[in-house]
Structures are given as structure tokens and as C-alpha cells.
Structure 1
Amino acid sequence: MTTASLPHGHTARRVLRLSLALLLAALSAPLLAANPPPAVSNIPATPAPSDPLAAMAPVELATPDSAPIAEQLQALQAASAAPSTSTRVKTVLQRAFALLGTPYRWGGSSPDGGFDCSGLVGYVFRSIGIDLPRVSRAMANEGVAITDRTALAEGDLVFFGRRGRVDHVGIYVGDGKFLHAPRTGRDVTVSSLTSGYWAQKYMEARRVAVGG
């Protein structure tokens, strides 16, 4: 079947997924060469698909909880190019962005089964050998508190909640954006920390030491 014969929505989504897959591959090469991922026994290994698009779940183009795909790609490029970001933090960001489009599942902690918010964050940090508590409330006690929102840096954990109680977590990716697993019916995505729903629910941030 040729591209011209595909329905318009399917063609657009396939092109966008291919763009994201190619960008991830290009940005991953120097990082993986400088900092090969450690073996992590509690993350199940999955065989590499023959089709590069098979590894990327569909990314919604626009939802109340997500930035348009162009903004997500810009966030990935900016985070990877940030001169102040260490190689280890860039590795965290690479692995987080590779999970864009993975479905939300309450209690989920793997790409195959889906993620909830803390399952996603825990999975990404375990991939570089850092174990975090399983729930967002406990994660909010890790690392060093960042009290000034303008001092946030790529790789920081950002927390949200209501009535003074943390109930959501994501990974800050720079430029006022963070990556997270929002809620049932949504996929792993990039959202704004400076406006809209999540800006109103923001509570605090923590910086976990990841090394150079």
C-alpha cells in the first residue's frame, strides 16, 4: 500500500512517529557511546522490533494534557542540547522521551504493560541504576528540594497535588515543560508547567543526584 492510499490521519501519525523515532535514534547514538546503559535485572528485556515504528506507540497530536507533537520534538531537542545538562541527565531524558505515547495504566511500571505516573519515573531512573520509592508521595522526600520554580533544571522531579497532598509526579525537561503519564485514557506525553491545569496543581520539585 502506498502512502497516498492511506487515510489522512494514519499517514500523518505514521510520519510523526517516524520523525520522533529518527530523532531519538540520532540523539541517542553519542549518549549511548559515552555512557552505555547498565544492566538492570528488574527491567524485563524486550526484543528489538524489525520495524523501527513498532517500538513507538501512537502519540496523540493534541489533548488537554499534551503539547502538540512539534512542541514535544522541540522539547526533546532543547533538552538534549542544553549545555548545562550532564551526560547522565541527558540519558535520563533520552529514555524518558523514548516512552512517549506509552499508554497510561494504573499501577503500571513497564513499557509493555503501560505506566502510571510514578511507575514511569521509577522505570526511567532505574535504567541508570537509581531506585526511587514506588509512589509519588514518597518520591517527594528524595533528593534536594528546589524551592524556586525558576531554578528547575532538566531531570528534576516535579510534583503535583491538591490540599497539600502530592498525588502526581513527572520529569522536568526544560523550557517550562515536563514529561509524565497523565491519567487513564492518556498516553505518556509532554505538558506545560507554566500554564493550564498542571501549572495550577504544581506543588514542589526535587533534584535527585545522578552523577556526571
Structure 2
Amino acid sequence: MPYPNLQFFSPRIRPVLYGLGLTWAVSILVACGSAPVRAPFPSDSSLNTDIVTPVTGRLSPEQANDVTLAALGLVGTPYRYGANTPETGFDCSGLINYVYQTRASITPPRTTADLTFWGQSVPKNQLRAGDLVLFGKSTLANHAGIYVGGDRFVHAPSTGGMVRLESLDARHWLAQKPRFKRP
């Protein structure tokens, strides 16, 4: 057996540890355990919606506008898992990656989970076009889109779907605990 017994990890985590390689995974766990780790998304109750300090990011207003227009221009492109071009289609992180690279020369992480840790958290009352909208009931995001203003965002929803514009206020998206990031 190439790896020691991992029975003390939950059954959902074991395949991940095997896939990552035990040595690497254990080093990450040890490193993470050496200091307190703050969750990337504060709980809703800890968000201060009266924040007056503006959140700044790397996008200029012109780049944010370009990102927004590019995202809107891709509405109707087919969804395809793992795809990241208009010709092949998009998954949600592929759409974000393509738009930011082509319109702002910024390369975001390729996976939605990695987008969780990218950029600066933004309270909803400070959202601006070009910000990221991340969804997930746990600490890690499992879906993402690009905010375009007016409480709307563009995203690549799922297999069989197409890139589309949706409202953050829709019941489904509110239940997904949206979080916001500024690149």
C-alpha cells in the first residue's frame, strides 16, 4: 500500500488526499494548522454593511467596463465543462478566465474553488461592474459569475445551458449565499 492508513479522514476527503499525494496534502494540513486560519467569506452576520472605506482593486474603471461589456457579449454561448473560449463554450470559471485575460490582461485562477481566495472581498453595497460573484453554501465557492450592475450578473450555468444574464435577487441565487470579490 503506497499510502498510510487515512481512515481518520472523512470518506469524502480520502480520495482528495490520495489524488493530491499524501506528502503534499499533509504538508498543507500541517501548515494550515500552525496558525489560525480565517475563513475566506465572513458569515453574513459579521458583514458590516455600513462600511464607508471603499474597496479598491486592480481593475481600472475602463477595464471594468470592458470586462462587463465582454461578459454581456458572450450571453448565448453554450456551456461546456472545462471549456474557456467562445468557440468551444464556457464553464463558469472558464468564462471569467477568458473575459479577464482578454479584456483586462489579468489571469484569474482557473477553478471556481481557487477564485474563493482571489481578489478582495467586497460588501454588496460596494459592488461595481466587473466584480466577481461567488456562490456556495460552504467556505469554498462552487459557482461564479461577473457582476454587470443593476443586481445582475453573467454566468455559464450548467450542462445544456448557455451563458446568461440573471438577477442576484432570484430566490435560487440568494439561497446560494452570494459573496463578492474585486480583482
TM-score between both structures, scaled by the size of structure 1: 0.56
| Mapped partners of 2:66, 2:178: distance in 1 | 26
The reply to whether residue 134 of structure 1 matches residue 134 of structure 2 is: no
Shift of 1:163: 3.3
- What fraction of aligned residue pairs are identical, expressed as a percent? 38
Residue among 81, 88, 97 paired with 2:72: 97
| Mapped partners of 1:99, 1:126: distance in 2 | 14
Matches within 5 A, 1:56-205: 86-127=61-102, 128-146=104-122, 148-205=123-180
Q: Secondary structure at the match of 1:190?
A: strand
Q: Secondary structure at the match of 1:172?
A: strand
Shift of 1:190: 0.5
| Mapped partners of 1:145, 1:163: distance in 2 | 16
Shift of 1:203: 3.3
Gaps of at least 5 residues in structure 2 are: 1-59
| Mapped partners of 1:192, 1:202: distance in 2 | 14
Q: Secondary structure at the match of 1:95?
A: helix
Gaps of at least 5 residues in structure 1 are: 1-84
What is the RMSD of the two structures over their aligned residues, measured on CA atoms? 1.3
Bigger helix share: 1
Q: Is the 8 A contact 1:193 1:202 kept in 2?
A: no
| Mapped partners of 1:106, 1:120: distance in 2 | 11
Per-residue CA distance 1:150-185 (angstroms, 9 max, x = gap) = 221111101001233310010001111100001111
Give the aligned residue type for 1:166: A
Q: Is the 8 A contact 2:116 2:140 kept in 1?
A: no
Q: Secondary structure at the match of 1:104?
A: coil
| Mapped partners of 1:130, 1:121: distance in 2 | 10
Q: Is the 8 A contact 1:136 1:167 kept in 2?
A: yes
Q: Is the 8 A contact 1:145 1:205 kept in 2?
A: yes
Q: Secondary structure at the match of 2:133?
A: strand
What stretches of structure 1 move > 6 A for 4+ residues in a row? none
Q: Secondary structure at the match of 1:153?
A: coil
Give the aligned residue type for 1:138: D
Give the aligned residue type for 2:110: R
Residues 91, 162 of structure 1: CA spacing in aligned structure 2 closer, same or farther, 3 A cutoff? same
| Mapped partners of 2:127, 2:73: distance in 1 | 22
Give the aligned residue type for 2:86: P
Shift of 1:198: 1.1
